A and B are shown apart, each in its own frame.
Chain A
């Protein structure tokens, strides 16, 4: 019990220390790695105070703790020294005063696979930061505010090298996975026969509308987000997200093409999506009605063009047939076809 209190007190001072250090020099990269170190030590301390196993690097014999240790060994040799100094309680902690959201403690006090990786932590912070975006915009302030909601110090923003870019990309990935879930669910319904398959044009329209509606809560600040995505170092990631989203939509729309159609369809849908997004930014009609009718018109354009292309092709073929017929007739008339 005394050891537990010692550990908690040490954790609190450590975090206080890190916020003092972090405040004046958040931009300095050396300091940010220091923040990272402090943050991770704080994290580790929190979890050490919950664990029933001493977190020394060699002692884990049971397999359930190896993931925890492997992860930490791989990334934190520098903080091992610090953390081992604060080697504290080994009895399971019943109360979790600082981190109410992260009680991974189960009955036996084991960590196992419930331990959080850095990516999961980052994603939790960014998700929490989203609610501050209308207030602070897509920026480090929003991330810091999000971190504070989770009970972490705002110094933990040092983890995010790309800053606001991280936040925007996280949001986009989140929207894409939500869209994929919705589309997969609809697909399953159709497979089970519980729903009618939609026509391609309707499917595309609804998918794009669903996806764009996810931006509505953040529509005021969305231009800022788009300009962040256009920064050179963010372009590869944003293109990747865009292309995987378009690929998903076409896959669930039933596209199984394996030739140039694959590229054409995705290029067309990307164009439709991007232009509709731009229109949405400037739309002030109620519930964005203008945007949805713009989307409707663009999809109609594509459908019309596909059918015109088919018509042109069949006309072309008919014309060629006509020419061949005319050529054969001419040959007959001039007697070239006869064998002498």
Chain B
């Protein structure tokens, strides 16, 4: 290339500085969490297998709450000033609380967040906004589909932890159960507010749920 000589150290230094600058620019401001120190939500893992399992659980749940946040943000961007604005805002506030809780759990237990967070950022917002463009029914249908996926996912985690050792994971189980109940409530709210009236409800629901399953699979590992 005529602009950079990759054999020269100074040019490499310049390139790396530019790259790091871009990396810093595309970071979001970290959310303000509480300074709660004693958030050891699960016991010190006995071996690397248990550690892997617990870290995957926290990582995927964190990614899920983050994505749900962005979906509601997208919905609010379109429908924020409509009649259903306050309802969506209320559900969004609950998700914000969930995300804050998982932020604390993630950082205090030294769990690595999923590297796909920027992807879920954009995808979540796009999903929320595009379904909200179909009107209030569309937004509610999206909520129903996503919350159903999340509840199912939380239930399978609860089952897995209960099978292993309910006493050992008491606090973690408590948190997951509480969040699962909240998500089921959102699901029911969505149904109450005419989610099924949207044209193509069955198709939309299944497509969104398939996407959620894929997102869960990938976020556990990457």
Provided the pairs A257-B30, A260-B117, A264-B27 are in contact, do residues A308 and B107 lie with their beta carbons within 8 angstroms? no
- Residue in B27, B112, B117, B118 whose Cβ sees the most chain A Cβ within 10 Å: B27
In angstroms, how far is the closest chain B Cβ from the Cβ of A41?
Answer: 29
Provided the pairs A259-B113, A260-B117, A262-B113 are in contact, do residues A312 and B20 lie with their beta carbons within 8 angstroms? no
Q: Let me know if A305 and B17 touch, CB within 8 A.
A: yes
Q: Let me know if B30 and A259 touch, CB within 8 A.
A: yes
Q: Let me know if A261 and B110 touch, CB within 8 A.
A: no
- Residue in B24, B103, B117 whose Cβ sees the most chain A Cβ within 10 Å: B24
Residue from A251, A260, A306 within 8 A of B110 (CB atoms) = A251
Residues of A contacting B31 in the complex (Cβ-Cβ under 8 angstroms)? 258
Residues of A contacting B214 in the complex (Cβ-Cβ under 8 angstroms)? none
Kindly state whether residue A77 has any CB partner on chain B within 8 Å.
no
Kindly state whether residue B28 has any CB partner on chain A within 8 Å.
yes
Residues of A contacting B161 in the complex (Cβ-Cβ under 8 angstroms)? none
Q: Let me know if B17 and A259 touch, CB within 8 A.
A: no
Q: Let me know if B24 and A258 touch, CB within 8 A.
A: no
Q: Let me know if A261 and B20 touch, CB within 8 A.
A: no
Q: Complex: how many Å from CA A302 to CA B102?
A: 29
In angstroms, how far is the closest chain B Cβ from the Cβ of A236?
Answer: 14
Kindly state whether residue A313 has any CB partner on chain B within 8 Å.
yes
Q: Let me know if B30 and A258 touch, CB within 8 A.
A: yes
Residues of A contacting B160 in the complex (Cβ-Cβ under 8 angstroms)? none
Kindly state whether residue A339 has any CB partner on chain B within 8 Å.
no
Provided the pairs A256-B107, A262-B112 are in contact, do residues A306 and B24 lie with their beta carbons within 8 angstroms? yes
Q: Let me know if B21 and A309 touch, CB within 8 A.
A: yes
Q: Complex: how many Å from CA A109 to CA B46?
A: 30
- Using CB atoms, name the residue of chain B closest to A313: B25
Q: Let me know if B107 and A257 touch, CB within 8 A.
A: yes
Q: Let me know if A264 and B112 touch, CB within 8 A.
A: no
Kindly state whether residue B162 has any CB partner on chain A within 8 Å.
no
Q: Complex: how many Å from CA A256 to CA B118?
A: 18
Within 8 A of A (CB), among B15-70: 16-17, 20-21, 23-28, 30-31, 33, 62
Residues of B contacting A301 in the complex (Cβ-Cβ under 8 angstroms)? 17
- Using CB atoms, name the residue of chain B closest to A267: B23
Provided the pairs A260-B117, A262-B113 are in contact, do residues A309 and B103 lie with their beta carbons within 8 angstroms? no
Q: Let me know if B25 and A258 touch, CB within 8 A.
A: no
Q: Complex: how many Å from CA A268 to CA B23?
A: 10
Residues of B contacting A267 in the complex (Cβ-Cβ under 8 angstroms)? 23
Residues of B contacting A271 in the complex (Cβ-Cβ under 8 angstroms)? 16
Kindly state whether residue B115 has any CB partner on chain A within 8 Å.
yes
Q: Complex: how many Å from CA A264 to CA B26?
A: 10
Kindly state whether residue A247 has any CB partner on chain B within 8 Å.
yes
Residues of B contacting A259 in the complex (Cβ-Cβ under 8 angstroms)? 27-28, 30, 113, 117
In angstroms, how far is the closest chain B Cβ from the Cβ of A189?
Answer: 16
- Residue in A247, A260, A264, A309 whose Cβ sees the most chain B Cβ within 10 Å: A260
Q: Let me know if A309 and B24 touch, CB within 8 A.
A: yes
Kindly state whether residue B141 has any CB partner on chain A within 8 Å.
no
Q: Let me know if A247 and B110 touch, CB within 8 A.
A: yes
Within 8 A of B (CB), among A287-338: 301-302, 305-306, 308-309, 312-313
Provided the pairs A305-B20, A305-B21 are in contact, do residues A260 and B26 lie with their beta carbons within 8 angstroms? yes
In angstroms, how far is the closest chain B Cβ from the Cβ of A184?
Answer: 13
In angstroms, how far is the closest chain B Cβ from the Cβ of A255?
Answer: 8
Residues of A contacting B27 in the complex (Cβ-Cβ under 8 angstroms)? 259-261, 264
Q: Complex: how many Å from CA A264 to CA B25?
A: 11
Q: Complex: how many Å from CA A261 to CA B17?
A: 17
Kindly state whether residue B106 has any CB partner on chain A within 8 Å.
yes
Residue from A247, A251, A256, A264 within 8 A of B24 (CB atoms) = A264
In angstroms, how far is the closest chain A Cβ from the Cβ of B39?
Answer: 11
Residues of A contacting B25 in the complex (Cβ-Cβ under 8 angstroms)? 309, 312-313
Residue from A247, A258, A305, A306 within 8 A of B103 (CB atoms) = A258
Residues of B contacting A309 in the complex (Cβ-Cβ under 8 angstroms)? 21, 24-25
In angstroms, how far is the closest chain A Cβ from the Cβ of B73?
Answer: 15
- Using CB atoms, name the residue of chain B closest to A312: B25
Within 8 A of B (CB), among A244-259: 247, 251, 256-259
In angstroms, how far is the closest chain B Cβ from the Cβ of A339?
Answer: 18
Q: Let me know if B107 and A258 touch, CB within 8 A.
A: yes
- Using CB atoms, name the residue of chain A closest to B26: A260
Sample (24) of A-B pairs whose CB atoms are under 8 Å apart: A247-B110, A251-B110, A256-B33, A257-B107, A258-B30, A258-B31, A258-B106, A258-B107, A259-B27, A259-B30, A259-B113, A260-B23, A260-B26, A260-B118, A261-B30, A262-B112, A263-B115, A264-B23, A264-B24, A302-B20, A305-B24, A306-B24, A309-B24, A312-B25
Besides A267-B23, A305-B17, A305-B24, 4 more A-B contacts (Cβ < 8 Å) are A259-B28, A260-B117, A261-B30, A312-B25
Interface residues in chain A, defined as those with a beta carbon under 8 Å from any beta carbon in chain B = 247, 251, 256-264, 267-268, 271, 301-302, 305-306, 308-309, 312-313
